[in-house]
Structure 1
Amino acid sequence: MEAPKGGVFFSARELHNLIPFHLTLRAAIELNVFDIIAGAPLTAAEIAAQIPTGNPNASASLDRILRTLAAYGILTVSFSSSSPPAYGLADEFQCLVSSEKSSSVISRAANVLGHALSPGFDSFCEMKHAVLEENTVPFVRAFGVTPYEYFSERPELTKNFNESMANNSKFYIAVVLKTYRGFDGVTELLDVGGGNGTLVGEVIKAYPNIRGLNFDLPFIIDSAPAIPGVEHIAGDMFESIPNAETLMMKV
């Protein structure tokens, strides 16, 4: 059998590494690595010292994670003849720093972690059955319930999902509001499936004359923060939607 050419071989290897890389990134987020190195480059030992662990070999294991992320250009590496390599966060990936430390609203760590969490991963593993079997929903096949039912019983996953959606909403609506004039003259705006109310809240900031209504499932509304000018309403959009002058839905 003829050996594959170099380009083909490395392309195949890259496909093989997609899942390990994603899960390595997830581990770094869960270990708070990006927040720890946000100020200045640190060695694996210096980073491990800020992670609550009793593992004496933590820095060696962490270094493998850091080297993988550096190979993908997410981390920078500086070498010194007198000390171990120091890892920093590449400029284009500053968005991975948590919202408490970063002003970025484009793609914070919650967005990445949200896709790497077990429910999403396990449901993707069932994707082929949506082709093979009639009326098959991969998530339901994996867990026996809809995503909304699953998340309603898991507050931490709901919190992460809402943060992810809120971060996206802030970025997109900031771009929309620069040119879109469709909110001119609107006096009441209902966001259907509005999550924690971030999207309609951003519109109300730009148009304080509008009465904002945020409509979503009860378990989401229960944890929604108070937002000036926005009233939270609990319900199921597949059953009924509150009457309002103007409706908005972001997909």
Structure 2
Amino acid sequence: LVSGETIDELLEAQTHIWNNTFHIFKSMALKCAVQLGIPNAVNSHGKAMTLSELVAALPVHPTKTHHFYRLMRLLVHMGSFTLEKSADQEGYLLTPASRLLLKNNPLNTSSYVFFVLDQVLLGTFNCMSNWFQKDEPNPFVTVFGEPVWEYASDEARVNNLFNGAMSNDSSLIGKAVVVKCKEVFQGLNSLVDVAGGTGNMAKAISDAFPNLKCTVLDLPHVVADLEGNKNLNFLAGDMFKAVPPADAILLKWILHDWPDEECVKILKNCKEAIRKNGNEQQT
């Protein structure tokens, strides 16, 4: 029987399930905001922007105004925007989070949003239960039959999304590293960013330390046509085969993608790269 005490517990349990079931609404609302250009519109307005002004500035059909209001309520609740209220009206303003979604922001993270919430990646989450029943490395292989990097090498759209996402993340983290971890790079003459993508992380480091020679190692289709500068260069290669010699090795967002056995291979190659550079005592 359901008593007064147990009904509260049951309702709380149902709320927990619903919260987690519908949490994807927040992710998709964020993606929708970027697709519609809401952050850029509010930023261009220069002051608190009313709902009607926002609808008029965006490709939103007038019949969807009420639904758009609900979208903005959710985005405000999420902290993506704030709502400024006055005596006669209310308008939307940017927050630090939505400023990271502006097109003209060098630390823009929109590509990361688009990659993670793309239909290709979302499709893999729908197959997690199938993956647990098979001897396959990850759900992406279960769905597409190959790792994401091999898939991306043949699919230009996915490759661009992936590189853009990693570039977005590296731009911000690169700035943080050179501000908060300067001492790590003191005394180094060379550094290899293993699987460093389009090089934003290495570029932030090379800009901050002009006497430090930085090399970005990644697969051929990733570094093709990328140009370096006086202390930054790109090298096509495979981290499972070899890592070029250097004083230090940078691994960012790499090891979590691979099983322990593969991680050991990568780390051994990194150790060998430092040893060959004459810094065996630092390995």
Cross-structure match for 2:143: 142
Q: How many residues align?
A: 245
Amino acid at match of 1:191: D
Deviation at 1:195, TM superposition (A): 0.6
Say yes or no: does 1:93 pair with 2:100.
no
Cα distance in 2 between the residues matched to 1:72 and 1:234: 41
Cα distance in 2 between the residues matched to 1:69 and 1:7: 25
Cross-structure match for 1:151: 152
CA RMSD of aligned residues (A): 2.9
Cross-structure match for 2:280: none
Cα distance in 1 between the residues matched to 2:221 and 2:98: 32
Does the CA contact (< 8 Å) of 2:174 and 2:200 recur in 1? no
Cross-structure match for 1:14: 19
Under a length normalisation based on structure 2, what TM-score does the superposition of the two structures give?
Answer: 0.73
Cross-structure match for 1:49: 56
Question: In the TM superposition, what whole-angstrom CA distance separates every residue of 1:162-203 from its partner, at most 9, and x where no partner exists?
Answer: 333233323334443334534333222221101111111122
Cross-structure match for 1:201: 203
- In structure 2, the residue corresponding to 1:240 is in which secondary structure? coil
Cα distance in 2 between the residues matched to 1:223 and 1:27: 32
Query: Does the C-alpha gap of structure 1 residues 204 and 72 become closer, same or farther in structure 2, counting only changes over 3 Å?
Result: closer
Amino acid at match of 1:40: K
Say yes or no: does 1:75 pair with 2:77.
no
Alignment match of 2:35 (pick from 30, 41, 49)? 30
Cα distance in 2 between the residues matched to 1:113 and 1:4: 39
Under a length normalisation based on structure 1, what TM-score does the superposition of the two structures give?
Answer: 0.81
- In structure 2, the residue corresponding to 1:35 is in which secondary structure? helix
- In structure 1, the residue corresponding to 2:187 is in which secondary structure? coil
Query: Does the C-alpha gap of structure 1 residues 57 and 223 become closer, same or farther in structure 2, counting only changes over 3 Å?
Result: farther
Query: Does the C-alpha gap of structure 1 residues 221 and 210 become closer, same or farther in structure 2, counting only changes over 3 Å?
Result: same
* Structure with the higher fraction of residues in helix conformation: 2
Does the CA contact (< 8 Å) of 2:136 and 2:142 recur in 1? no
Cα distance in 2 between the residues matched to 1:59 and 1:225: 46
Higher relative contact order (CA 8 A, sep 6+): 1
Does the CA contact (< 8 Å) of 1:201 and 1:228 recur in 2? no
Deviation at 1:4, TM superposition (A): 4.0
Cα distance in 2 between the residues matched to 1:225 and 1:59: 46
Amino acid at match of 2:50: T
Query: Does the C-alpha gap of structure 1 residues 77 and 175 become closer, same or farther in structure 2, counting only changes over 3 Å?
Result: closer
Cross-structure match for 2:273: none
Percentage of matched positions with identical amino acids: 24
The aligned runs of 1:86-125 (5 Å cut-off) are 86-89=91-94, 91-100=95-104, 102=105, 105=107, 108-125=109-126
Deviation at 1:56, TM superposition (A): 4.3
Cα distance in 2 between the residues matched to 1:48 and 1:214: 44
In structure 2, list runs of 5 or more residues that go unmatched. Answer: 254-283
Deviation at 1:82, TM superposition (A): 5.7
- In structure 2, the residue corresponding to 1:128 is in which secondary structure? helix
Cα distance in 2 between the residues matched to 1:92 and 1:16: 27
Query: Does the C-alpha gap of structure 1 residues 132 and 78 become closer, same or farther in structure 2, counting only changes over 3 Å?
Result: same
Say yes or no: does 1:129 pair with 2:130.
yes
- In structure 2, the residue corresponding to 1:87 is in which secondary structure? strand
Deviation at 1:245, TM superposition (A): 4.7
Does the CA contact (< 8 Å) of 1:188 and 1:210 recur in 2? yes
- In structure 1, the residue corresponding to 2:183 is in which secondary structure? coil
Cα distance in 2 between the residues matched to 1:78 and 1:209: 48
In structure 1, list runs of 5 or more residues that go unmatched. Answer: none
Cross-structure match for 1:161: 162
Question: In the TM superposition, what whole-angstrom CA distance separates every residue of 1:85-130 from its partner, at most 9, and x where no partner exists?
Answer: 53333x3424443251x36x4x733333332111221112222334
Deviating above 6 A after TM superposition, structure 1's stretches of 4 or more consecutive aligned residues are: none
Amino acid at match of 1:64: R
